[in-house]
Structure 1
Amino acid sequence: MTAKRIAIAGFQHETNCFGVTKAGLPEFEMADSWPGLLHGEKVILETEGMNLPIAGFAAAAQAAGIEVVPILWCSAEPSAHVTDHAFEAICGMLLNGIRDAGHIDGVYLDLHGAMVTESLADGEGEILRRVREVVGPEFPVVASLDLHANISAEMVEHADYLAIFRTYPHLDMADTGARCVPVLKRLLAGEPLYKAFQAVPYLIPLHAQYTGSTPFDEIYQLPVEFEQKDVLAEIALGFTAADFPDTGPSCVAYAATAQQATAAAGEIVDLFLAREADLDCSMLSLDEAVSKCRQKWGKPIVLADVQDNAGAGGTSDTTGLLAALIKGGAKKALMGLFYDPESARQAHEAGEGALVQLAIGAKSGLAGHVPVKAEFEVLALGDGTCRYTGEMYGGGVATLGKTAALRLVGHEAEIDLVATSVRNQCLDRAHFTHIGLNPKSYSVICVKSTTHFRADFEPIAGDVFPVSSPGTFLCDLEKIPYACIARRLPYTGDAAISQHKAEAH
């Protein structure tokens, strides 16, 4: 019997509609947290063993005797909109690759689910529509999505199955890709799968989406329970910085009958509604964060600069928390990662051990943001090649560009920080250890990350606190100038639930 041939491809971007810089073709071609644009066999060779959906799918498919036909894979660091040029260029490569693949029996796509382009609110819906147009209505098409996907009816319509991460931090990316393989085999065998799609009628800020917390420890048990009934249930929590009507949590269920699928989706939404009041959307103010630094902890405390997360389209160069810690005289504090190519370059020119006057941060032109001007000692320098050691990205390599470890001098505060030349979310201790800084030796660790840092930093932390410091990825949803959102904000204690005006595009 001839092995089935499945075309595989990936095109990922998480779009912050309130971000500063857009994602053009060069951003997809360059390596950052993940490899740059890959073609053909390099898709397999350069992602093998990584915690990526396409790597998980490829390994599981090959183990099942399925031949994979790799087309391309790319991602860009989250930012403002994907340019029309980049979208059309990459879609063109993807579709031509499918057309030129010879006889294939199905398609697997590694997508994000929250892509917005200069002209399209629903990037993934359009990708799936175009793929469906090429392969036809009866052809099996499956895709994996990020937990933060904003799922649209068009995405559900054009894909036979959507698998979604179940953990945040995303420890199951490869596993999610692998979950598509048995479903694809069912589809290839002609088994019917009925779909049911329902949206949850409120938004959840990302720092409250930590799946190790209540109520998600209960919500994400439902897919496991449904599997015992041969029902596939997939849950997305949404990406709140994408401003269009489909933004927000939702679920998709698949089953042998429409009734089973509809019942499962309804049960999931009912649980979301029942547990809305249990969401923890709290953040410390800057003054409260400084106060935490003065308390005694057996292990380092972690302050998460959640609104300046490069992994959510933040500039990764705001200085609100740094300035507050300097003013408050914080002791033995470590901060990163600051996206500041200029300061990194100056440190490299000065050399290790030198004292250099720097203006740290605030280079992206955000209104009201100013750099921290001070003297720093250059502790260490690096080329930015950082091999991840934590569970989430372990085995992968970050490309940070020229990097500098710096120590504040001439102030009461004791602060070390890392400046890089490529924007990167601080989610792995290797971001510090690769340049000679040991996070365990500090009293305070400040990370520009929303939740992913928890996987590697929480095991060494005395406690973890999200901090409300200014940035372009707002976690206080009341402050986001939405124009198109069609769902309400989450319930936050005694405050009434707010309702934004919904305007369709």
Structure 2
Amino acid sequence: MTRPRIALGSFMLESNGHSPVATREEFEASCWLEGAALQADLATPAPRASAGLSGFMRAMQAGRPWQPVFTIAATAGASGPIDQTVFDDICARLVAALKAAMPLDGVFLALHGAATATVDRDPDGTLLRMVREVVGPDVPVLATLDLHTNVSWEMVKQADMLCGFITNPHVDQAERGAECAGVMRAMLGGMRPRMAFAKLPFIPPATSQNTAGGPYADAIAYGQRFLDHEVLNVSVVSGFSLGDTPKNGLSVMVTTRTDAARAQAVASDIAAWIWSTRAKWVTNLTSLEDATRMALEAGRDPSKPSLLFADVADNPGGGGRGNTAFILESFVKAGVEGAVFGIHNDPALAAEAHAKGLGARFLARFNRDETNVFSKSFEAEAVVEALTDGEVVGRRGIYRGRSVSLGPTALLRIGGVRVAVVTLRRQLAEPRMIESLGMDLRAVRSLVVKSRGHFRAGFDDIWTPDRIIEVDVPGLTTVVLSRVPWREVPRPIYPLDPAMDWTPPAPQDVPVRGG
């Protein structure tokens, strides 16, 4: 028996429509691996490439012999639209690798699904179409998608199954890859699934999208109840609101073994139910003044519980620059004690701290090279308390068991406040990003994280939900959607148009390929 040849690849970018353009340098700093380099990375204990690829491979290796074909994995986390020439290059490299490997028996891709480019408004759809054009209509093409994907009809039309994450924070990436491996095996045996797709005119605020509880947890649970011997997968993906693209909107995808009518009925039912709950998807933020007061109290009274403050409006995981100083300046001026800020993206400041060395005292100039309107400058006397190369292996949450590079990193002390300054833009979702600087997180009175929600899986052993404060300050990833200067989002859409009404149309079904 010949071993089936399955091509593996990844393209992951979440594009904030109002953030600076994503460059090749950003991808290379995060993950740009091709061929043998991708194969070697996935064989290490702590790979950089998507956990979806690792999960798919492990599940496939548990079955009959197969042959993986390694193409390209390009990841930049979250940023602005990708430079078109960079995206074109990624597509060209993927297509060339596929053509060189033909004939193929299947393709698995770990995608994010919320990318835009400086020209192409649907890069994920374009990439899937190019893959389909190479392998033809009969070869299974499966992909995982981030829960914050903005799904297009083109994406659905070109894939046999799109499998969205069901946890936020996203700790199930490997499991969803494994789920795709099971469907791939079934398709190699002759199964031809059907998929239905429903798009809601609804962009829920990011802080109402946690899946441990609340309206999104209810929506996920409602969808999962339809899984049975016929319904293979239900993906309820909230979308990335700040993509500001015609693809914006919560999406429902239902994949069945053979029954298109069943897929359509289930997708329509789920879409209608979620729409009926739309008023529950709200956000509640704490003012900067109240947050500062709470941090002061936590620092002065060790009998009070420590607190975690989330700067949700400057989340690098959503395209934020990771360097606004609104909370930092307020805490410093108020005299807050025992606070740690992480992680502040400022390559120039990190380099200066490394040049001056441990114990140096100097005037720290934050954001001297930044031009974004929210990234205002801030100056304060600081002491260099720790220096590292910024290379960490995650131990919790979304980065568990994976290598993450922050670039040269420094811990600065400003009065009773410490700031972790990094060279590469990342969100603080992993304890080792702070612990590697010698900090004991359990001794911290206030931790400020530049993250929207992934920190919850990294720090939940210390800070329970009742001790997490989401702070209302400006930024590129604001969850107050009325503040966003929308350009391309389709209208009307809820909650921007709160009085609108909507009835789910008949969900679209993908024709069987090669039948």
TM-score, scaled relative to structure 2: 0.91
Shift of 1:295: 4.1
Separation (CA, whole Å) in 2 of partners of 1:269 and 1:388: 36
Aligned CA distance change for structure 1 residues 108 and 496 (closer, same or farther; 3 Å): closer
Corresponding position of 1:502: none
Separation (CA, whole Å) in 1 of partners of 2:188 and 2:323: 49
Q: Provide the alpha-carbon RMSD of the alignment.
A: 2.0
Q: Deviations over 1:401-455 (max 9, x none)?
A: 111101103xxxx211100111111111111000111221111100000000000
Q: Deviations over 1:442-477 (max 9, x none)?
A: 111000000000002132015111112221122111
- Give the 5 Å matches for 1:332-481: 332-361=338-367, 363-367=369-373, 369-409=375-415, 414-461=416-463, 463-481=467-485
| 8 Å CA contact retained: 1:56, 1:176 | yes
| 8 Å CA contact retained: 2:169, 2:454 | yes
Separation (CA, whole Å) in 1 of partners of 2:4 and 2:286: 53
Q: Which residue identity does 1:328 align to in structure 2? A: A
SS of match in other structure, 2:17:
coil
Separation (CA, whole Å) in 1 of partners of 2:343 and 2:119: 32
Shift of 1:225: 2.2
Shift of 1:496: 4.5
Moved more, 68-77 or 419-428: 68-77
Shift of 1:491: 5.2
| 8 Å CA contact retained: 2:143, 2:162 | yes
Corresponding position of 1:30: 29
| 8 Å CA contact retained: 1:302, 1:444 | yes
Match of 1:322 among 316, 322, 328: 328
Corresponding position of 1:503: none
Shift of 1:44: 3.3
| 8 Å CA contact retained: 1:44, 1:55 | no
Corresponding position of 1:245: 246
Corresponding position of 2:281: 279
Give the gaps of 5 or more residues in structure 1.
500-505
Separation (CA, whole Å) in 2 of partners of 1:38 and 1:69: 13
| 8 Å CA contact retained: 1:308, 1:317 | yes
Q: Deviations over 1:328-386 (max 9, x none)?
A: 32221110111111111221122111211111236321226422211011111111112
Separation (CA, whole Å) in 2 of partners of 1:350 and 1:498: 58
Separation (CA, whole Å) in 1 of partners of 2:130 and 2:284: 41
Separation (CA, whole Å) in 2 of partners of 1:137 and 1:61: 22
* 2:101 is equivalent to residue 101 of structure 1: yes
Separation (CA, whole Å) in 2 of partners of 1:362 and 1:289: 26
Corresponding position of 2:188: 188
Q: Which residue identity does 1:313 align to in structure 2? A: G
Shift of 1:217: 2.3
Separation (CA, whole Å) in 1 of partners of 2:309 and 2:147: 23
Separation (CA, whole Å) in 2 of partners of 1:251 and 1:396: 30
Separation (CA, whole Å) in 2 of partners of 1:205 and 1:357: 38
| 8 Å CA contact retained: 2:51, 2:173 | yes
SS of match in other structure, 1:337:
strand
SS of match in other structure, 2:477:
coil
Match of 1:313 among 305, 313, 319: 319
Moved more, 400-409 or 354-363: 354-363
Shift of 1:487: 5.2
* 2:479 is equivalent to residue 484 of structure 1: no
Aligned CA distance change for structure 1 residues 417 and 163 (closer, same or farther; 3 Å): same
* 2:266 is equivalent to residue 264 of structure 1: yes
SS of match in other structure, 1:334:
strand
SS of match in other structure, 2:412:
strand
Separation (CA, whole Å) in 1 of partners of 2:407 and 2:264: 49
SS of match in other structure, 1:108:
strand
| 8 Å CA contact retained: 1:313, 1:473 | yes
Corresponding position of 1:119: 119
Q: Which residue identity does 2:98 align to in structure 1? A: I
| 8 Å CA contact retained: 2:210, 2:217 | no
Q: Which residue identity does 1:208 align to in structure 2? A: S
Q: Deviations over 1:109-153 (max 9, x none)?
A: 111101100111111000011111111122211111100000011
| 8 Å CA contact retained: 2:411, 2:419 | yes
| 8 Å CA contact retained: 1:18, 1:473 | no
Matched-pair identity in %: 31
Q: Deviations over 1:228-279 (max 9, x none)?
A: 2421211111001112121121011112211110111112112212222222
Aligned CA distance change for structure 1 residues 86 and 468 (closer, same or farther; 3 Å): same
Q: Which residue identity does 2:240 align to in structure 1? A: F
Moved more, 116-125 or 67-76: 67-76
| 8 Å CA contact retained: 1:202, 1:249 | yes
Corresponding position of 1:234: 235
Corresponding position of 2:166: 166
Separation (CA, whole Å) in 2 of partners of 1:222 and 1:290: 39
Q: Deviations over 1:150-208 (max 9, x none)?
A: 00111000001001111110000111111111112222222232221001221112122
Moved more, 44-53 or 384-393: 44-53
SS of match in other structure, 1:213:
coil
Corresponding position of 1:204: 204
Aligned CA distance change for structure 1 residues 266 and 137 (closer, same or farther; 3 Å): same
SS of match in other structure, 1:263:
helix
Separation (CA, whole Å) in 2 of partners of 1:391 and 1:41: 28
TM-score, scaled relative to structure 1: 0.92
Separation (CA, whole Å) in 1 of partners of 2:337 and 2:247: 45
Moved more, 264-273 or 118-127: 264-273
Separation (CA, whole Å) in 1 of partners of 2:368 and 2:322: 9
Shift of 1:91: 0.6
SS of match in other structure, 2:476:
coil
Q: Which residue identity does 1:203 align to in structure 2? A: I
| 8 Å CA contact retained: 1:299, 1:461 | no
Moved more, 149-158 or 76-85: 76-85
SS of match in other structure, 1:459:
coil
Match of 2:37 among 36, 39, 42: 42
* 2:56 is equivalent to residue 57 of structure 1: yes
| 8 Å CA contact retained: 1:25, 1:85 | no
SS of match in other structure, 1:92:
helix
| 8 Å CA contact retained: 2:332, 2:414 | no
Separation (CA, whole Å) in 2 of partners of 1:406 and 1:158: 50
SS of match in other structure, 1:460:
coil
Separation (CA, whole Å) in 2 of partners of 1:332 and 1:280: 32
Separation (CA, whole Å) in 1 of partners of 2:304 and 2:94: 52
Moved more, 81-90 or 37-46: 37-46
SS of match in other structure, 1:176:
helix
Aligned CA distance change for structure 1 residues 362 and 368 (closer, same or farther; 3 Å): farther
SS of match in other structure, 2:331:
helix
| 8 Å CA contact retained: 1:478, 1:489 | no
| 8 Å CA contact retained: 1:141, 1:161 | yes
SS of match in other structure, 1:98:
helix
Separation (CA, whole Å) in 2 of partners of 1:489 and 1:451: 24
Corresponding position of 2:511: none
